[in-house]
Structure 1
């Protein structure tokens, strides 16, 4: 049974199984605490890591055979952003481990469509980069402040950190806006993400135009919006903790 058969009531169980699976992989590689370098993780799992400056792909994981012996080679294109390189490596590592993870979940990897394998690889990747329960501990310690979490996970992008917040309590909505246009908005609550509230719009507007983080509090919601601005690109990431949704 593949991921396209997952019912909502089973999603928490699947997430917990994947958390445990990734924890055992990190233990196998003798990595304690946060995995700050996925390339080191790959090497400790017996993979050969090769920087391919001229390759067309950011990352590829190949299984090479010599007679009956097989070995994994992780090909990486050196990226100017360490976050992109780490995510690409984590995703390819997830692809290589997808069959093992699927077996743990009671699935046959051959029955999973390519989109399902991509989903599974992404789920594994984010768990290597932001492992539970440490990520939840860190999030609570810094009040789920995105900038302070980025300081603790320097090789993980702001977006990946923000999306991972949806896997932890309490009920929140994560919104990403690029150059004034809504790019992505999701909730971990039982409801479809509602339209932005007046408080969210005000908080985002202040951040977008002021270039500084902004906050808004009222009895229904607690909002934090962060400016991830670069030359020629203005991204804002907003976390809304909603008090009217039962967890």
Structure 2
């Protein structure tokens, strides 16, 4: 079992696998490619180009960006608007402005900006897992709260205690699945957190931590935001449809 870590996606990404070093390098390259395509902060990313140009004209995008945008649109519709990747800096924000056109081109109906950080990190983990699976029998990718495991052995899963972030709380084990956790451990200000309800702009405070178990990290990552906004009970039908479950603290 080889273990390596690199700073990517605004966190440290750890990859562990029964494979050689070249395979791990290939997996890290997948994470780096997803970051280069969909980073909100990088002015050279494809997402930044979309944000600056797509409200003027259709913009062709990479297949990975297209897949993430399609997933984000689907989740927006099926979560009753609880999942929304637009930046809330004006009255015209909203995922309904994003049009996916033939030929993998994207157009915004009005001037909006997208921030895909609530779903793209999970997608990047999934792409790294794809590359590990082709060459190894067992492994995991952990990207700062987004974890996916494959192979015959279960891995223990731990989350930070929301009241004592330096302390870890066990949640059980995970095999052939993904876990994502969202919590305001170190970012809380005045009792509020950056997760917002896109329908009214409020900051839900019903939980201290939300974790979602799902088949893929993209689903787990995105669904944590849906649970924060709608609550675990209201989000239950969507979780069941996507073969996911929530653990809230």
* TM-score after normalising by structure 2: 0.28
In terms of fraction of residues, the more helix-rich structure is 1
* TM-score after normalising by structure 1: 0.28
> Could you say which structure has the larger radius of gyration?
1
Answer 1 or 2: higher relative contact order, Cα 8 Å, separation at least 6: 2
